[in-house]
Structure 1
């Protein structure tokens, strides 16, 4: 496929996903139980993508050491971004929204790398990963936008900021496809990098935050359902 078509694909997936989340925030009530379920659904679905798609493809193309290196680099990137943010923002609501926004943008870039690289593999990983990214960006855009609503930001600004967070997906998609044409090792590293980034965010942010929002079973049901949805899409 043409690199510009793949790049447009990446921009569309990233910006529509988070943008739809921002749009939904204008209509959905700030119900902790609903947000808890959506975040849990995100965590379960992305856990499936990491364990059944990203890392196996990386192992196959680059071997265990390249995969482990990519995972480590992905985790370090998110930790550094979070550490820098903790020192600069003090308003709890603004900090929560900004952290989610930066986290989404930061991990949308390696996700874009993985998306661009995935279209070079022999499997149907590209379309599957695109759907996964689109779906999981919606609740992330929603979660990012809820604190902005509480701070009484205008609807247009909420839509603008939530859509903006999806731009790195398109940039990453271009670079992932472009660099991946040179070496399978680069493809493997991109896939593992995105896998490590998502794995850390799932474990450190999505699932814990889902449980903190609502102490009941909604987040756990969401996690399981998200994983099951991944299985259904994989074997369909």
Structure 2
């Protein structure tokens, strides 16, 4: 069991760090990526996430527990992440300086990355294929997160190594979450199903409550819609190939 846990944490760390660091690198390279680019990346990740949640995550939860219980725990996941979102909204009262934006973005992403780790850990315990799919999903999802951290720091003329360090720190909660996901999921099949149900709710809220609205706020052109559809198609490919 220890080896399996170590494997999950290693995979989780690798994929999460790759996505976040890649995003930070893009932020450093372009200094200030256009709203259109960030919006399209967010939309693509949202479409990808939606297809995998609906085709893999929720059905897997229903297989572990019944449909009614899966929906109850999905609702719980939505309520939990909604509470985090409401608390985060209060931060609008703070200064909008670049450093403050970077700090609050990093703090919010660290909170968000913890349940991502739980999703990954629970997914690997459910089955290896689901774990791999969730790892790839999270890696792609973390690319715009890395950009979100890097862009305001670049505007503040921070050194590249400091930006990469901050991006690395924001990805660490995913590692801790993957440990927790494995621990909770290894207790029983029922607990694993409950974890997957909660994870589904969290991801659905992030998709429709944050990622898609944010993408449309950044860029209202048709490219955002197209990016979402491409993400969904790519998710279908991942589901059938991996």
TM-score exceeds 0.5: yes
Q: Does 1:21 align with 2:26?
A: no
Cα deviation per residue 1:206-230 (whole Å; 9 max; x = unaligned)?
A: 1111111112112111100101111
> How many residue pairs were aligned?
236
| Alpha-carbon distance, 1:141 to partner | 1.6
| Alpha-carbon distance, 1:123 to partner | 6.1
Query: How many angstroms apart in 2 are the aligned matches of 1:13 and 1:195?
Result: 20
Assess if the C-alpha contact under 8 Å between 1:16 and 1:163 holds in 2: no
TM-score by length of 2: 0.88
Which residue of structure 2 aligns with residue 133 of structure 1? 138
Q: Does 1:90 align with 2:97?
A: no
SS at match of 2:47: helix
Which residue of structure 2 aligns with residue 206 of structure 1? 211
Assess if the C-alpha contact under 8 Å between 2:51 and 2:236 holds in 1: yes
Which residue of structure 2 aligns with residue 195 of structure 1? 200
Q: 1:202–1:138: structure 2 CA closer, same or farther, 3 Å change rule?
A: same
Larger deviation: 43-52 or 173-182?
173-182
Query: How many angstroms apart in 2 are the aligned matches of 1:195 and 1:97?
Result: 28
Instruction: State which of 20, 36, 46 in structure 1 corresponds to 2:49.
Output: 46
Larger deviation: 111-120 or 202-211?
111-120
Q: Which runs of 5+ in 2 are unaligned?
A: none
Q: 1:66–1:163: structure 2 CA closer, same or farther, 3 Å change rule?
A: farther
The alignment's C-alpha RMSD in Å is: 2.1
Which residue of structure 1 aligns with residue 125 of structure 2? 120
Query: How many angstroms apart in 2 are the aligned matches of 1:37 and 1:192?
Result: 28
SS at match of 1:124: helix
Task: Describe how 1:173-184 pairs up with structure 2 within 5 A.
Answer: 173-184=178-189
| Alpha-carbon distance, 1:144 to partner | 3.2
TM-score by length of 1: 0.90
Query: How many angstroms apart in 2 are the aligned matches of 1:116 and 1:57?
Result: 14
State the 4+ residue runs in structure 1 displaced beyond 6 angstroms: none
Which residue of structure 2 aligns with residue 229 of structure 1? 234
| Alpha-carbon distance, 1:110 to partner | 2.0
Assess if the C-alpha contact under 8 Å between 1:78 and 1:103 holds in 2: no
Q: 1:205–1:187: structure 2 CA closer, same or farther, 3 Å change rule?
A: same
Q: 1:68–1:94: structure 2 CA closer, same or farther, 3 Å change rule?
A: farther
Task: Describe how 1:148-163 pairs up with structure 2 within 5 A.
Answer: 148-163=153-168
Which residue of structure 2 aligns with residue 145 of structure 1? 150
| Alpha-carbon distance, 1:98 to partner | 4.6
Instruction: State which of 60, 82, 85 in structure 2 corresponds to 1:79.
Output: 82
| Alpha-carbon distance, 1:100 to partner | 4.1
SS at match of 1:152: coil
Query: How many angstroms apart in 2 are the aligned matches of 1:96 and 1:54?
Result: 33
Query: How many angstroms apart in 2 are the aligned matches of 1:41 and 1:223?
Result: 5
Q: 1:119–1:187: structure 2 CA closer, same or farther, 3 Å change rule?
A: same
